[in-house]
């Protein structure tokens, strides 16, 4: 529900010369999910950014000392709980405490849930100079006096998300981006990247905080929860489509992993065909959302 109310679902394929591997993302651009969520729920979000490592720690320490939980954006490469090292500057973690040497944080279940990292590594992770990383970004949430009725927020958030998905500003986004990916993956495999890089892509798509299926499992369940609240039959039909979509994204991630381990391009041919099917399925699902009448 939080992911859906944050208008979080999307698609992007990004490939730049300074990137170790192409980036395949299944959500909207970094930072906007929380911004959208708090806007739709009328919740106050206090955001801080600074280029100063010293100032970043001072602000963080102040909030933790005030017994607040703080959201931190960082490059996961530097965190000890990430056993397989790779640079990825999009994740958020929650920090709730510290001592003279360590920060006590909450990460995804795959990384251990309640974990810890050294203060030095935390500073490196927050201040890393990587694509898509903000300047020591942190945020806190102001407590609410009243409980919000989410019924009024669900469909508008869903339809805004669908509109953005179906009308991408560039060909790298939305269903058009999936079509582009289907035509590009075989070229990447043959020319630009080591086959083993596709194992990393598979893990990012399926394991690293995505909920599996490149966030499509999360959105499928958001649709299901929304149907249970709103009782709109159109949502039940869309939920079925998203179940198929989520399964197919897991298939794509599995094929990427198999290609990386074996070096066999045939897996990429199959992945390409599946991606073409996914582009059409997602276009259908989001068009259905956009056409729901209140």
Alpha helical stretches, state H, the chain: 2-5, 32-41, 53-65, 119-126, 151-166, 174-187, 197-206, 216-230, 233-262, 266-290
Top-confidence residue, 62 or 264: 62
Taking residues 174-192, report their average pLDDT. Answer: 85
Residue-range domain boundaries for the chain: 2-38+147-290, 44-141
pLDDT above 70: percentage of residues in the chain: 93
For residue range 76-115, list pLDDT tens digits in order: 887 877 766 767 777 889 999 999 999 999 987 776 778 9
Q: In this model, does residue 51 exceed pLDDT 80?
A: yes
pLDDT at 148: 83
For residue range 126-150, list pLDDT tens digits in order: 988 776 678 899 999 987 788 788 9
Taking residues 188-193, report their average pLDDT. Answer: 66
CATH topology for 44-141 is SH3 type barrels. (2.30.30)
For residue range 240-289, list pLDDT tens digits in order: 999 999 999 999 999 999 988 888 889 989 999 999 999 999 999 999 99
């Amino acid at each position: 529900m939080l992911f859906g109310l944050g208008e979080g679902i999307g698609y992007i394929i990004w490939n730049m010369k300074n990137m170790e591997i192409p980036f395949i993302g299944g959500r909207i651009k970094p930072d906007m999910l929380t911004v959208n969520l708090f806007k739709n729920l009328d919740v106050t979000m206090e955001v801080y950014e600074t280029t100063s490592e010293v100032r970043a720690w001072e602000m963080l320490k102040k909030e933790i000392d005030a017994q607040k939980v703080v959201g931190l954006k960082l490059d996961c490469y530097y965190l000890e709980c990430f056993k397989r090292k790779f640079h990825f500057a999009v994740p958020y973690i929650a920090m709730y405490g510290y001592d003279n040497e360590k920060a006590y944080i909450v990460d995804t279940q795959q990384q251990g849930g309640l974990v810890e990292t050294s203060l030095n590594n935390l500073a490196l992770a927050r201040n890393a100079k990587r694509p898509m990383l903000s300047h020591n970004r942190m945020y806190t949430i102001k407590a609410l006096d009243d409980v919000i009725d989410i019924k009024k927020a669900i469909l508008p958030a869903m339809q805004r998300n669908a509109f953005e998905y179906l009308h991408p500003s560039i060909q790298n986004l939305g269903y058009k981006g999936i079509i582009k990916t289907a035509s590009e993956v075989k070229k990447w495999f043959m020319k630009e990247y080591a086959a083993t890089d596709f194992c990393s892509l598979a893990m990012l798509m399926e394991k690293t905080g995505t909920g599996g299926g490149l966030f499509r499992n999360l959105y499928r369940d958001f649709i299901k929860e929304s149907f249970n609240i709103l009782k709109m039959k159109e949502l039940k039909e869309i939920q079925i489509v998203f179940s198929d979509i989520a399964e197919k994204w897991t298939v794509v991630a599995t094929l990427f992993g198999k290609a990386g381990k074996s070096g066999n391009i045939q897996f990429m041919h199959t992945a390409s065909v599946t991606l073409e099917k996914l582009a059409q399925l997602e276009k259908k699902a989001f068009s259905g959302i956009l056409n729901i009448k209140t």
